């Protein structure tokens, strides 16, 4: 087989089911992809001039999703004056931003604080839906999980879902031809038995679903759908594309417009820059070591390479399922209903601290942070009082789900660095000032990319739908 990597690429069943990059012989080029790409045509926006409020200040986004949800009090928002059952075992440490302190488990990120902003006042009244699935859906789509069970348990994703953030970005700010729009790496989002909660394009259609690469990035990656059969050269493929366009132009009055979409399909296959981003082995050994030879660390490095290749939206998902029992090792869960402190100190935070700090440091050094927004967030926080259950079984030394107030890191893309936005109360239980809703965060991402979060599209029943159910961009971040 011909490959732009210079070697054969093995086909696998998981890719044959993809709507966007299905190989299936030559179906990628001759049948499905151009029709799917046609759906991208509508409303390609004109480039906006950057305003002082941050509108259009970013070209791309990396969303680091910490499924399972780390404790905001122990990482981002230490409370040293609170009682022992609130403040926990960790002490605050100073950062490179004067007056800003984080938990002692993040020493490497503390040195990068000059590059990021911490928001300590995000939260939502869960209205009974305190489980991971409902919180993930809200964070990833900007809409209430009305189709979930009363307890907040997830349901299988479907085409009736509201679109994910990445899908909206792909639809309203598509990348240049021959570049990826929406890629998900690291791991799939899992809640209970359901896979892919809040990840697909839903009502927008399969053309905007993410291109997924969930292989272990510590090993050589082999992206599928970018190789041609042995008897097919790019020149021969181009001839077939041209012939098909001529036939359709003569038989359908509207078919001439399809040429552009065949060109897009072909350019993605031809683009060394886009696909070679997956060749992590091309990175210097010291760079790979700096990110950490873990699945999460190498996925963060892959995200940087994808941004360098002009990808519009990359989601890096923590490898453990949202509601897994925390276990030792680099890939375990953040869902610390018990043993919160040894799990964070010995397992979760060393990996997270090394990898995210490397990503921010590397992006800044390469000049990529200026136009790339990086957001690191879980679906909620953890309860202020240790070992006190709210709605779930909490064991010794554990913290429960806590959507009412938590924190997230945001950097680049026009955001003011070396700062803190918002404040939680003295126990980290509720926003004290400058409260931010998860929908406000999504609106902020769209705003920074030059997408109006109030934009409306129509669903399959021709009902108007807003990109974000409610909320406004957090202009104080810019």
Under the banding of pLDDT at 50, 70 and 90, the label for residue 82 is very high
Lowest mean pLDDT among 116-125, 141-150, 434-443: 141-150
Look at the alpha carbons of 224, 225, 227, 232 in this order and tell me if their dihedral is positive or negative.
positive
Please give the mean pLDDT across all residues of the chain. 84
DSSP state of 153: -
Under the banding of pLDDT at 50, 70 and 90, the label for residue 392 is low
Residues of the chain with CATH 3.40.720.10: 45-221+282-477
Under the banding of pLDDT at 50, 70 and 90, the label for residue 391 is low
Give the Å distances, CA to CA, from 34 to 212, 246, 268.
19, 15, 12
Asked whether 320 and 69 are in contact (CB, 8 A), the reply is no
* Residue 385 Ramachandran class (φ > 0 left, ψ -120 to 50 alpha, else beta): beta
pLDDT reported for residue 11: 34
Residues 453 and 456: their CA atoms lie apart, in Å, by 9
Residues 323 and 310: their CA atoms lie apart, in Å, by 34
Under the banding of pLDDT at 50, 70 and 90, the label for residue 227 is low
pLDDT(40) > 70: no
pLDDT reported for residue 148: 80
Note the pLDDT tens digit of each residue in 318-356: 999 998 989 999 999 999 999 999 999 999 999 999 999
Q: Which CATH class is domain 45-221+282-477?
A: alpha beta
Note the pLDDT tens digit of each residue in 399-417: 999 999 999 999 999 999 9
Residues in the chain: 478
pLDDT reported for residue 235: 60
The single residue listed with the structure tokens 């044959």 is 16
Neighbours of 433 (CB within 10 A): 11
Distance from the first to the final alpha carbon of the chain: 49
């Amino acid at each position: 087989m011909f490959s732009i990597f210079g070697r054969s690429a093995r086909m696998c069943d998981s890719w044959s089911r993809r709507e966007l990059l299905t190989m299936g012989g030559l179906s990628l080029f001759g049948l499905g992809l151009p029709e799917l790409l046609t759906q991208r045509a509508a409303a390609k926006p004109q480039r906006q001039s950057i305003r002082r409020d941050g509108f259009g200040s970013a070209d791309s986004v990396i969303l680091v999703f910490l499924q399972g949800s780390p404790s905001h009090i122990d990482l981002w928002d230490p409370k040293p004056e609170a009682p022992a059952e609130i403040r926990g075992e960790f002490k605050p440490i100073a950062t490179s931003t004067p007056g800003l302190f984080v938990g002692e488990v993040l020493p490497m990120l503390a040195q990068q604080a000059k590059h990021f902003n911490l928001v300590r006042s995000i939260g939502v009244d869960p209205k009974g839906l305190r489980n991971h699935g409902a919180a993930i859906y809200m964070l990833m789509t900007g809409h209430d999980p009305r189709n979930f069970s009363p307890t907040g348990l997830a349901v299988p994703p479907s085409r009736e879902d509201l679109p994910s953030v990445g899908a909206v970005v792909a639809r309203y700010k598509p990348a240049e031809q021959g570049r990826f729009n929406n890629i998900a790496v690291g791991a799939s989002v899992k809640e209970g038995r359901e896979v892919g909660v809040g990840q697909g394009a839903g009502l927008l259609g399969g053309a905007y679903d993410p291109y997924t690469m969930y292989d272990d990035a510590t090993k050589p990656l082999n992206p599928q759908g970018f190789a041609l059969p042995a008897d097919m050269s790019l020149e021969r493929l181009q001839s077939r594309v041209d012939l098909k366009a001529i036939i359709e132009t003569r038989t359908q009055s509207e078919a001439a417009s399809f040429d552009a979409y065949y060109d897009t399909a072909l350019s993605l296959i031809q683009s060394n820059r886009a696909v070679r981003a997956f060749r992590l082995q091309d990175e210097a050994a010291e760079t790979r070591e700096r990110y950490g030879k873990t699945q999460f660390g190498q996925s963060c490095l892959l995200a940087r390479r994808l941004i360098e290749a002009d990808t519009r939206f990359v989601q890096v998902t923590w490898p453990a399922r949202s509601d897994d029992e925390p276990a030792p090792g680099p890939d375990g869960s953040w869902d610390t209903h018990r043993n919160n402190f040894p799990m964070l100190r010995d397992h979760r935070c060393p990996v997270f601290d090394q990898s995210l700090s490397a990503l921010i440091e590397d992006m800044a050094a390469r000049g990529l942070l200026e136009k790339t927004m990086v957001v690191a967030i879980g679906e909620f926080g953890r309860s202020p009082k240790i070992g006190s259950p709210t709605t779930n079984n909490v064991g010794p030394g554990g913290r429960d789900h806590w959507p009412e107030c938590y924190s997230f890191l945001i950097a680049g893309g026009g955001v003011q660095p070396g700062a803190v936005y918002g404040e939680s109360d003295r126990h980290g239980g509720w926003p004290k000032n400058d409260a931010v809703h998860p929908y406000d965060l999504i609106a902020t991402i769209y705003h920074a990319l030059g997408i109006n979060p109030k934009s409306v599209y129509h669903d399959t029943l021709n009902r108007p739908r807003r990109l974000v159910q409610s909320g406004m961009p957090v202009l104080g971040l810019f």
